Amino acid sequence: MKRFVKIVSLLMVLVSGVSQVACGKSENNVTTTTTAASTAAITTVKQEEEKPPVEYTFDPSVPKAAIQATTLYQIGEPSSFSDKLAISTLQGLVANLSEEQIMISGGAYNNYRTYLKRNWGCTYQSKVDGNAITLEVLMAHYKDLLSGYILASADSSSDSGNVAISLAGILNAVVVTPENQKICDDLGMICLLDATDKDDAWLRASEYWASLNQTIAFEQPLSMAPKLVDYAVMSKSYFSFYNGHNSTEHRNKYKFLSNGGIVFGYNNTLGEYDTVASFSAENIQMIPSDHAYNLSTLSGFKTAVLEQKTTEISNETSKKVHTVCIIMSDGDNVQWMTNDFTTSDKWWANKNRGKFNMGWGLPATAIDLTAPFTEYLYDSMSEKDEFIMQLGGLGYTFPSKWSVEAREEMAAKLSEYMIRSDLHYAEILDDNGMTRTVMNSFTKQDGIDGLFYIDYSNYAGMNGKILWSNGKPVVAARYRLWANTSDGSVDGIAKAINRASTEPTSADSYSFIIVHAWSGLSGNNLVEGGNTMNAVAELVRLLDNDVEVVTPSEFMNRIIANEAK
């Protein structure tokens, strides 16, 4: 029944013009236009059955490249900061200007190369105009599409580069430094702005400030270029980094963003809690993505809806067993998901995946931000895997700190993304936020069937509490598999579960285990940086016969059917 309800919800979304049709695309059946209201592309896909197409307007909260690439020029990451700045700003510009785009050899890009060709008819090229691919060759190839260049300081600690990146998309200008400026000069390109002496104060007082994107921004050390630089340029967004320890100063820096705004990047200097709390106070959210490559190019590929392979829920709802749901943490982390999450045997590539039921977090926005990579995940999942949404909203945030109106607007948008991605449940991480008032904002949405909850101070601090909100369950983590914690050992959790209740109407018979993605086994010890999936497999092995490990949907279905309290 739950699956049927979700399909009906999706159809309602389609009829209202919020969503599109199905996957399976090629360059021969996709046409693209742009709306006057936003730069989001509208894509029409013809079905094999020749059914009338349904138009889908992509959400401008997660900007997409204006043009979907048909050809990708692959280039290795340059060694010098100046060349990294130039290639990444060029990449972001051409994502809006040409079907021939740039792919930097970074992250797990080899995993989705097959999908780019199979689903979108996109090919990789090793040469440009008959020449080996270099920065100079690419600049010559694209120069006629550009208005000129911005000159920035070659010092990555200077604010100059941040200013230049913020303005590159607005001025349609590549960013270079005195170290590689000659490439542009030799091509006859003009310098539109000398930003070598410009700083953040100058930018905010300039005529350009009002033209910057008001829905997204970037908090990223400039020294980490080319990561994220391309997407900031493509989306014409503010690019900066707060290198201090004052939460109020940090909060004021991003006050210009509208409610529901998203900040890409991460701030290790201020710290995770203070960064998220600062954003939450302004009704905005963060997408951890500081090591993400190629988001401008990847965002141009369009997927309307996805369907998980997860086994359908059963009708065995009243079995006298202890029901366990295990979910991997940190799925909101775009930079991890698109890097070694899929290639390392600590996580997705582990040989134990698919041998037992398991929940995995996924950013709600992945379907738009990294469609080729997301399709790879759905294609490579087993029937025992299930994705849920992580973490808090369209990004990492504390929903309880938002205004009610802003939170409900965010939850409604989240629901639309979840329906498109076939995500039935959301995981909320908050700071003492497991209250019915906060949870109601999410459970009132048709596309959200229930919630998993973890608390910032202690993922399992609510001890498995079940709260009912709008007739839907909100289930707190009972255990956390986490190294160097008194309650997070493999043996300890297994022993506690094996002696726990098996009465299906009792909340004590259900255990949601959150797995700390950065903890795992090394030998027989649970340590930071160990093999996470090996630790999960060992935990499952130690469970008794009257314990069943199920998918998130099966877990919630049993709680709902038995009205567990």
The domain that holds 331 is classified in CATH as 3.20.20.490
Mean pLDDT of 503-527: 97
Is position 310 within any domain?
Answer: no
Residue 24 clears pLDDT 70, i.e. is over it: no
What value does the mean pLDDT of the chain take? 91
495 has pLDDT over 80: yes
User: Cα(446)–Cα(356) distance, rounded to whole angstroms?
Assistant: 29
pLDDT over threshold 60, residue 302: yes
Q: What is the pLDDT of residue 317?
A: 79
Report the DSSP beta bridge partners of residue 369.
none
CA distance 325 to 564: 15
- Percent of residues, the chain, with pLDDT higher than 90: 85
Q: Given a cut of 50, is residue 54 above it in pLDDT?
A: no
Q: In what order do the strands lie in the sheet with 173-176?
A: 173-176, 148-151, 191-194
| 328 confidence band (pLDDT: 50, 70, 90) | very high
Q: Does any domain span residue 316?
A: no
**Is residue 307 domain-resident?**
no
- pLDDT of 406 higher than 80: yes
Higher pLDDT, 27 or 541: 541
- Domain final residue pick, 299, 331, 354: 299
- Judge whether 44 and 31 are in contact, CB under 8 Å: yes
Domain of 554? 322-562
CA 203, CA 213: separation in Å to the nearest integer?
Answer: 14
Alpha carbon dihedral 160, 275, 170, 206, in 10-degree steps, equals -60
pLDDT band at 56 (very low <50, low <70, confident <90, very high): low
Pairing of strands 56-57, 41-45: antiparallel
How many alpha carbons fall within 13 Å on the CB side of residue 116? 23
Helix or strand holding residue 395 (H, E): none
- Three-state secondary-structure class, residue 547: strand
- Whether the pLDDT of residue 204 is over 80: the answer is yes
- Phi-psi map region of 155: left, alpha, beta (phi>0 left; psi -120 to 50 alpha): beta
Residue 284 lies in a domain: yes
Whether residues 51 and 78 fall in one domain: no
Percent pLDDT > 70 in the chain is: 90
Q: How many helices (H) and strands (E) does the chain have?
A: 19, 27
Pairing of strands 525-528, 262-265: unpaired
Q: Is residue 89 a part of any domain in this protein?
A: yes
Q: Are residues 230 and 332 in the same domain?
A: no
| 252 and 352 assigned to the same domain | no
263 vs 315: which has the higher pLDDT: 263
The pLDDT value recorded for residue 364 is 94
pLDDT reported for residue 109: 86
Judged on CB neighbours under 10 Å (0-12, 13-18, 19+), 468 is: middle
Residues 483 and 528 in one domain: yes
Q: Token pair 């340590």 is at which residue? A: 527
Q: What is the mean pLDDT of residues 211-237?
A: 98
Is residue 375 domain-shared with residue 433, that is, in the same domain?
yes
Give the lowest-confidence range in 22-26, 393-397, 498-502.
22-26
Mean pLDDT over 516-532 rounds to 97
pLDDT band (50, 70, 90) for residue 84: very high
Give the separation between CA 537 and CA 389, rounded to whole angstroms. Answer: 23
Q: Which position has the higher pLDDT, 303 or 5?
A: 303
Supply the pLDDT for residue 2.
Answer: 46
Q: How many CA atoms, within 13 angstroms, populate the side-chain half-sphere of residue 172? A: 10
- Judge whether residue 359 has pLDDT over 90: yes
Count other Cβ atoms within 10 Å, centred on residue 207.
6
Question: Is the pLDDT score of 41 beyond 90?
Answer: no
Q: Range with the lowest mean pLDDT among 54-58, 220-224, 379-383, 400-404?
A: 54-58
Rg (CA), the chain: 24
Distance between CA 260 and CA 453 in Å, rounded? 21
Q: What is the pTM for the complete model shown?
A: 0.91
454 lies in the same domain as 550? yes
Rounded to an integer, the average pLDDT of 342-366 is: 97
Q: Are residues 149 and 281 in the same domain?
A: yes
Looking at residues 319-345, what average pLDDT do you find?
96
Instruction: Compute the C-alpha angle 171/254/396, nearest 5°.
Output: 110
**98-107, 180-189, 194-203, 535-544: which has the minimum mean pLDDT?**
98-107
pLDDT of residue 199: 98
From CA 143, how far away is CA 97, in angstroms rounded?
A: 11
pLDDT digit string, tens, across residues 367-388? 999 999 999 999 999 999 999 9
pLDDT in tens, 161-200: 999 999 999 999 999 999 999 999 999 999 999 999 999 9
Report the pLDDT value the prediction gives residue 55, as an integer from 0 to 100: 59
Cα 418 to chain centroid, rounded = 13
Residue 264 has pLDDT above 60, yes or no: yes
Domain count, the chain: 3
What gap in Å lies between CA 517 and CA 528, rounded to an integer? 9
Q: Are 47 and 143 in a shared domain?
A: no
Which of these, 444, 443, 477, 446, lies nearest to 459 by C-alpha position? 477
Q: Residue 28: its pLDDT value, please?
A: 31
Q: Identify the residue whose tokens are 């094996």.
A: 498
On whether residue 131 sits in a domain, the answer given is yes
Is residue 102 one of the residues assigned to a domain?
yes
Q: Give the range with max mean pLDDT: 2-6, 22-26, 82-86.
A: 82-86
Q: Is residue 99 located within the same domain as residue 40?
A: no
Domain boundary among 299, 331, 352: 299
419 and 486, same domain (yes or no)? yes
Q: Order of strands, edge to edge, in the sheet holding 123-125?
A: 100-104, 71-75, 123-125
User: Is the per-residue pLDDT at 36 higher than 60?
Assistant: no
Q: Is there a domain that residue 305 lies in?
A: no
Looking at residue 318, its pLDDT comes to 84
243 and 280 inside one domain: yes
217 and 364 both lie in a single domain? no
